[in-house]
Structure 1
Amino acid sequence: MPIPAPPTNVRVVTFQIDGRDYSAREDETIIEVARENGIPIPSLCYLEGLSTWGACRLCLVELAGSPRLVAACATQVAEGLQIYTDTPRLQRYRRTILELLFAERNHVCSVCVSNGHCELQALAQRYGLDHVRVPYRHVAYEVDASHEMFRVDHNRCILCTRCVRVCDEVEGAHTWDVMGRGSDCRVITDMNRPWGASDTCTSCGKCVQVCPTGALVKQGTSVGEMTKDLHFLPYITRRRHNR
């Protein structure tokens, strides 16, 4: 079934990204347009097919004439915008954000089942993160292996809430949610019951596939074995939209 045409009342606007001219519908976000045109803007919480969360702040971009940075995933394009996606200022901000993510939890890539297949690790390599300049929290988080097919390691969770959103918006189960405040937040299943005791989990595995790190993985995977497939999500959402 063909994708329906956009509403006729949506204007097409012209703007610049990194000095080049682009056109897009005014209801599209900066990150959508950038990725459609092969412009890499990093993000960990954004995922095509899910609602916008805007939490990781890695997709911050600069706008000419504006002193503040804006989140590309939550900012729509507009006529005449001049957008910059990879300035030295943005590189410093992104590296600092990555350092804070590594310091908040206990990410040890060498023994992680997602080693080599981790979005957080890939971004750390991209921005040359070989050490962390802030103190580690060194808080030991639990590993819940009560589910017969999957497990959750809270030491590797970055609170992107992809699992929460895909379970609610795509699977419709709403097994996952977030508990706590600040650095003490963690994702939970069924009002903080063990995952294996969940009454709502359908064992579909969508949450595992969209997790950007080694926090949600399949049981039985060893170091470097956990690969994930994100292509199913845009396909599902497009099919639902075209019904």
Structure 2
Amino acid sequence: MSVKILTINEKLVSAREEETILEAAREAGIHIPTLCHLNGVTDVGACRLCLVEIAGSHKLQPACVTKVAEGMSVHTNSDRLQKYRRTIVEMLFAEGNHICSVCVANGNCELQDLAIEMGMDSVRLEYQFPNRHVDISHDRFGIDRNRCVLCTRCIRVCDEIEGAHTWDMAGRGTNSHVITDLNQPWGTSQTCTNCGKCLNACPTGAIFQKGSGVGEMKRDRTQLEFLVTAREKKQWLV
């Protein structure tokens, strides 16, 4: 296994050849904002918040799926990138129905944290006010698609960690939305194991536990980290 030497924000960084820029940056203590990234599941580069500048390339590249290379020079926090990221966060707010003051995840929401990080004190885009449905047919959980940012973390964690593949994506463009079991109500799902991993993976208040009030939605990401670590180390194999 070879080691690659690159620079990130003028800092020399060493990384394994199979690592991504995001992994190398985080190991070096360099922050790159993300929303669709979740440790332990496959990266898809959906949110585009981790875009970085690479010397010699005119295109911005997503750090979560771009592999490191010898001599690579990366910048993660230029004015250009900050403008892109703020616009992306504003688009997420404008394209959904995010009202933090009445959300179960208020104060515990990654989208809210990103808005604060980007200095977003207003949305300069026109709100779309989409007609999105709420599904509370499940005994324990509910999904409010008004708060969904289409990160697909629920889909990937259900597929890759739980192995149920209850969740999937339907529609295209502004009509894209997550569904359960070929667009059936969640409560009628024949594949859902009621494990709650999708709840713990969701970055916003889109998937919530029934009975949660404003600001009461907490998540236990250590559950996912424990399962991923155990799987990688083959701790449950006889």
Residue 82 in 1 paired to residue 83 in 2? no
Which deviates more from structure 2 when the two are superposed, residues 32-41 or residues 54-63?
Answer: 32-41
Cα displacement string for residues 127-183 of structure 1 (whole angstroms, at most 9, x for unaligned residues): 111111111111221110111100000000000000000001100000000010011
Equivalence for 2:215: 224
Instruction: Establish whether residue 126 from structure 1 lines up as the match of residue 153 from structure 2.
Output: no
* 1:184-242 alpha-carbon deviations (Å, 9 max, x no partner): 01000011111111111000000000100000010000000001122222321221121
Q: TM-score scaled to structure 2, two decimals?
A: 0.96
Moved over 4 A (4+): none
Question: Partners of 2:68 and 2:226 in 1: how far apart?
Answer: 24
Q: Quote the offset at 1:36 in angstroms.
A: 1.8
The within-5 A match list for 1:87-98 is 87-98=78-89
Give 1:35 shift.
1.4
Instruction: Report which stretch shifted further, 59-68 or 178-187.
Output: 59-68
* Cα distance in 1 for residues equivalent to 2:55 and 2:205: 37
Which residue, 63, 70, 89 being the options, matches 2:61? 70
2:153 equivalent to 1:162: yes
TM-align CA RMSD? 0.8
1:39 maps to which of 9, 27, 30: 30
TM-score, reference length from structure 1:
0.94
Structure 1 segments unaligned to the other structure (5+ residues):
1-9
Cα offset, 1:72, TM superposition = 0.2
Would the alpha carbon gap of residues 158 and 206 (structure 1) be closer, same or farther in structure 2, given more than 3 Å must change? Answer: same
Return the match for 1:60 from 51, 54, 68.
51
C-alpha separation between the residues in 1 aligned to 2:134 and 2:51? 32
Say which SS state the counterpart of residue 192 (structure 1) adopts: coil
1:113, 1:43 → 2: CA distance? Answer: 21
Unaligned runs of 5+ in 2: none
Aligned mates of 2:225, 2:78 — CA distance in 1? 30
* Residues 22-44 of structure 1: CA deviation (Å, up to 9, x unaligned): 11111000111111222111111
SS in 2 for 1:231: helix
Q: Percent identity?
A: 57
In structure 2, distance between residues paired with 1:210 and 1:21: 33
Count of aligned residue pairs for this structure pair: 234
Deviations 1:93-147 (A, max 9, x none): 0000001110111000000000000000000001111111111111221110111
User: 2: distance between equivalents of 1:114 and 1:38?
Assistant: 27
Q: 2:4 aligns with which of 13, 28, 39?
A: 13
Amino acid of the structure 1 residue aligned with 2:26: R
* Corresponding residue number in structure 2 for 1:215: 206
Select between 141-150 and 31-40 the one with higher mean Cα deviation.
Answer: 31-40
The amino acid that maps onto 1:153 is: D
| CA distances 1:66-111 after superposition (whole Å, capped 9, x unpaired) | 2111000000111001111111000000000001110111000000
SS of 2:114's equivalent in the other structure is: helix
